[in-house]
Structure 1
């Protein structure tokens, strides 16, 4: 009751006394009768209340039917409502009788406990006395259904898997699964309504905090050029639509019209940033879009740019020659069961073949994976087991042994691992969904450039071939005022006085971005950034400074931003 009164206060600013939780939810859902309907409640809340009342009525009917089947007498308590002064308590094998419960409008006691199927939850009596064979049969039925329909095993890790099991476990004993027609038509229609309500709630959030529009172009197995449009905000990511752009992908003007159509649907004032591929036609279309909408910033995909940097480094002549040698070692080892079995008995051994996170970074990931096993491989080729084996006399084995025992090969591999490590770490950050990455791109590139220079002890003729590749992609595509402003506003860097970049170009990027992209009270925003920089007002609190090292920038600004 208390929670629903708060909802009434928020939406229609009225307070109702008396009645129970169902009366309040009828008010929110809009059912006329003993209480008026709320005119200001949002669509998603109204839909949730409607679904709750539907479920409550179905539960009452199923309980009444079960009682009649058990005792062959009509229920005398069917007129009791959830908001009465008594609650009905059932025990298996005994008639139901009303007992004293909570006051009106309070939730059932069971609602304060975790579901029985959650880990470490308290088990019910029925589950305690349940036969292990029955549980095994249920598990086998689920597994058999997955095997026969070729459902991937990782489907059990999805969030809706256990929710489905919970719903089935709480249904009546005679529950029958939905039919083909039910799944195809009414349930799909209901799911579409729920998804639409979710998108509508997200759109209201876009208007409050802004969002990022992403256009992801790719080619399918039928060689069609497809573009997926997605919108990201702190609450999550929403898929907008997928467009077959096979006929228009080569035209920048047509791409601009397509982008403009999606921007109009999302709302130009809601979009802060747009991200696309860095192909020339996408670049030009992005510039046209920014010229039309002054408040939108465009930049290419940071992950794609880093992949191209690693690709260009992998195509360098000496790297191209070197990457063929680890491939020979890996193929030879994994083609002989006896050799890989000997290596797996080593306590520190892990597989050499690395996961293909990206097709461009795989070369450098392979270098790193092989370098970790340097001593294991050298121990193998010098062991009595290998020397006495007939494989050691083969020509391929001799070539592999020469590679493994070549110290210059390991030295070159070590240099490439050190060069690529900061780029791969940055790639993992920008390609992750765990936190917003835009505030780390500027600093990540700066650290990578400085790290490469230190590897070669600041000798320009040695590090320039690598840094020139990075600067080419960074200066040409990825260096934007938006990235510099995000770096400046990232509290993890701003409050690190020893390592923060105080170059005038960073401060100018912040001022230029506010002056060119923000259409509100610019003086007030600049004043707020000065407070943030100088730690004035709410920014000087000890709690604000301590949480700056443990909180993501977007969450921190919600708490302490002005």
Structure 2
């Protein structure tokens, strides 16, 4: 029996499914041939081909498979096909690393803090000129308008900042943490330019939100969408019908992927494919049902916790669709679908059903023209968009223009909203669709409504990016490990 990388493990050294783990969400080809021996330690990987215990994580393990000399012992049972696959993947990673390095070099190449022609000639002393130069490294980064967070360390502009500081030389004293958090942040943005603050659902944050909104009534507080959806998934997974399927599926997957001969046998009968397609058994029908329930939420989680789409316009509409699909999955049997639907509704309440979420749902042209009849009969949706307009535009005359003229033009597809290109581009919610960009192109005849649409639809809705800096969330929800495939 043979298939890609199919080599038998010695019976005495075989690891049982109780102590072998595979990161199911990772697409790294190394996991086809290796497993974690301790799921709490990503550095310990055991080779399924030769049983070699590799330290240094999945990257060093791929060197073992590829037979790269000088780094780690070569796997004696990895055939030419396995080596070719892994070497090809490593070359892709190397090319990406080289591209990043080249881009970083280009970023700092044009940094010159002495090239600013705005330096006043009347500065008489070297001390005065040095004080002026001291401000330039900060301004170089600040002018990009990036938010201040620990993720700035991975930002390309941080490299430019470092280069500017290097060119300045010794003696540069950066702002203190307090100056970054309060006076500099306030000076750069200002309360009038802040529309939303996002935090997770911790009890302390929920209490702080009440105090914050009382002090700053013009600014919205919203809950982290990624955290809220994660809690919904957790709640649904505890329902007996779903938890039983998850338990059985884990046992089947662990057994197959922990026994190399069984894995090779399966791949031999499935043309080297993994377990992704349900078969005609009651077990797989249950798995298919669970997938139908989880998929809409997982897709939405990837949007709100990703960088491909501006997420705010998809939260409320995506959750409404998830509820509809859950009902359909259970064939609209209320006794059966109610627990799952309740988990979604309860997770939305007070967190993802606020005025900003509903206003973004209204302003997203994909949902608006698809669900308009449903929207116009829901007073909470109309109240949300009206309240956002009032809060964003304090001027009564502008409010009247938006609500009586521009909203009507949007609702009835008048002018540019009714052009064939505008209609075609709003009908497909694919990866390329960007509702804020749609407004920037087709909303010029409704300038006030366009401005607030671009502002709201461009908002983030998750705080998970910041949480990755100081918690174990980095391991479970990093961009590399947490990108779920559906």
TM-score interval, normalised by the smaller of the two chains? 0.5 to 0.7
Query: In the superposition, relative to structure 1, how do residues 544 and 331 fare at CA in structure 2: closer, same or farther (>3 Å)?
Result: closer
Q: Is 1:560 the equivalent of 2:442?
A: yes
Aligned to 1:523: 400
Partner SS for 2:308: coil
Q: Is 1:293 the equivalent of 2:201?
A: no
Deviation at 1:318, TM superposition (A): 4.2
Deviation at 1:408, TM superposition (A): 3.3
Q: Map 1:257-276 onto structure 2 (within 5 A).
A: 266-276=189-199
Q: Is 1:544 the equivalent of 2:422?
A: yes
Aligned to 1:114: none
Q: Map 1:53-452 onto structure 2 (within 5 A).
A: 154=93, 156-158=95-97, 159-163=99-103, 196-202=139-145, 266-352=189-275, 369=276, 372=277, 374=279, 407-452=281-326
Deviation at 1:513, TM superposition (A): 2.1
Query: In the superposition, relative to structure 1, how do residues 373 and 336 fare at CA in structure 2: closer, same or farther (>3 Å)?
Result: farther
Q: Aligned residues, how many? A: 302
Conserved? CA contact 1:493–1:499, under 8 Å: no
2:373 and 2:96 map into 1 onto residues whose CA distance is 41
Aligned to 2:330: 456
Deviation at 1:302, TM superposition (A): 0.9
Cα RMSD (Å) of the superposition? 4.0
Query: In the superposition, relative to structure 1, how do residues 528 and 476 fare at CA in structure 2: closer, same or farther (>3 Å)?
Result: same
Aligned to 1:506: 381
1:284 and 1:523 map into 2 onto residues whose CA distance is 35
Aligned to 1:485: 359
Deviation at 1:544, TM superposition (A): 3.1
Listed one character per residue, the Cα deviations across residues 448-474 of structure 1 (whole Å, up to 9, x for unaligned) are 111111222322211111111111111
Query: In the superposition, relative to structure 1, how do residues 229 and 324 fare at CA in structure 2: closer, same or farther (>3 Å)?
Result: same
Query: In the superposition, relative to structure 1, how do residues 193 and 317 fare at CA in structure 2: closer, same or farther (>3 Å)?
Result: farther
2:137 and 2:264 map into 1 onto residues whose CA distance is 53
Listed one character per residue, the Cα deviations across residues 403-445 of structure 1 (whole Å, up to 9, x for unaligned) are xxxx432232222121112111211222221121111111111
Conserved? CA contact 2:239–2:340, under 8 Å: no
Of structures 1 and 2, the larger Rg is shown by: 1
Between structures 1 and 2, the one with greater strand share: 1
Query: In the superposition, relative to structure 1, how do residues 156 and 272 fare at CA in structure 2: closer, same or farther (>3 Å)?
Result: farther
1:497 and 1:431 map into 2 onto residues whose CA distance is 25
1:293 and 1:201 map into 2 onto residues whose CA distance is 26
Deviation at 1:198, TM superposition (A): 3.8
Please give the TM-score of this superposition, normalised by the length of structure 2. 0.54
Listed one character per residue, the Cα deviations across residues 20-75 of structure 1 (whole Å, up to 9, x for unaligned) are xxxxxxxxxxxxxxxxxxxxxxxxxxxxxxxxxxxxxxxxxxxxxxxxxxxxxxxx
Listed one character per residue, the Cα deviations across residues 119-151 of structure 1 (whole Å, up to 9, x for unaligned) are xxxxxxxxxxxxxxxxxxxxxxxxx9x979xx9
5+ unaligned residues in a row in structure 1: which ranges? 1-143, 168-189, 204-212, 215-226, 231-235, 240-257, 353-368, 376-406
Deviation at 1:480, TM superposition (A): 0.5
Listed one character per residue, the Cα deviations across residues 307-351 of structure 1 (whole Å, up to 9, x for unaligned) are 000111122344334322222222221222211112223455434
Query: In the superposition, relative to structure 1, how do residues 163 and 498 fare at CA in structure 2: closer, same or farther (>3 Å)?
Result: closer
Listed one character per residue, the Cα deviations across residues 72-106 of structure 1 (whole Å, up to 9, x for unaligned) are xxxxxxxxxxxxxxxxxxxxxxxxxxxxxxxxxxx
Deviation at 1:266, TM superposition (A): 3.1
Query: In the superposition, relative to structure 1, how do residues 259 and 481 fare at CA in structure 2: closer, same or farther (>3 Å)?
Result: farther
